[in-house]
Amino acid sequence: MSTSDLPIPDFDHLPLGDVTARIRSLSAPQVDALIAFEEQHGGRAPVLQVLRARREQLDAGATPSGGDAAAIDLQAPPAPGGGSVASPATEGPKINPPSQGDPTNPAQPR
């Protein structure tokens, strides 16, 4: 089985938190496919533990949540909040260098 056959894209590169969030919408056969892939390739013990726990939940009667596990991108940065609140009205006063020179400018005498 290759990574393109998995129900979650780039599964082998996902951190544990993303795996936990994304498997909620998978069916039992899809979780089984991830378990088999992880056992053959990565063998990450925490990931296998989460996958097996989810499989047990599904066996006990849990239903997959709605949504598409492949569509979630938890690594993407959040969208901008609508622009900057800075404006000329919120600027501070203009600061002039001291009369003996600017200590941050070595070309200007002190």
In this predicted structure, the answer to whether residue 24 has a pLDDT above a threshold of 70 is yes
Q: What pLDDT is attached to residue 65?
A: 84
Which of 12-16, 51-55, 72-76 has the largest mean confidence?
A: 51-55
Percent of the chain with pLDDT over 70: 75
For residue 32, count CB atoms less than 10 angstroms from its CB and return exposed for 0-12, middle for 13-18, buried for 19 or more: middle
Section 22-32 average pLDDT:
92
Residue in the block written with tokens 């056969």? 29
Query: pTM value?
Result: 0.62
pLDDT of residue 42: 82
Place of tokens 């990931």: 47
Residue 23: DSSP 8-state: G
The rounded distance, in Å, linking the Cα atoms of 45 and 87 is 52
> What's the confidence (pLDDT) of residue 109?
57
